[in-house]
Amino acid sequence: MRIQPNIIITGTPGVGKTTHCETLAESTGLKHLSINDIVKERSLHDGYDEEYKSWIVDEDKLLDSIEDEVKQGGYIIDWHACDLFPKSWIDLVVVLRVDSTHLYDRLKARNYPEAKLQENLDSEIMEVLLQEARDSYDEEIVVELTSNTSEEMESNIERIETWIVNWRENNKEGAK
């Protein structure tokens, strides 16, 4: 039984996932679980992809590694994918979206290789991660939020904080 919710904040790289997660962790007491950091720290990968400048995640090792922690509740999971996490672990899926002009500028500033930059832009334009979330979780727990400006980010954080307060109030006895 969980007395704290688990939330996934997902979206293509550059949409503001980590900023949202860090701010929410600070304001709510939930723990920020950066999957990128966990993969590196716990060697949950099958090597490094030089073309895309990223780790090749071993999803089975990842799930095995975090299962005991996440099942207890109280985590904000920060990653660009969501479909691998079991439905029973997750109470809310937030898909952050950014218009392609903002996204291009953010990824360019990170010095993304051209192939990786283009793939992420295509993914955002085609709503790949939003569709993945809708296909993997119940409709009522998937929320799409826009994150083009700092004002939108602040509004998103307030909205998620309110959701957390309500979840806690409605699950005082714990959630399955």
Binding residues for ATP are 14, 16-19, 110
Which amino acid, 20? H
Which ranges in 42-149 belong to alpha helices (H)?
A: 59-71, 100-109, 114-125, 128-136
Q: Are 100 and 33 in contact (CB under 8 A)?
A: no
Which residues are documented as binding site? 14, 16-19, 110
Tokens encoding 24: 């929410």
Residue closest to 2 by CA, chosen among 64, 75, 59, 52:
75
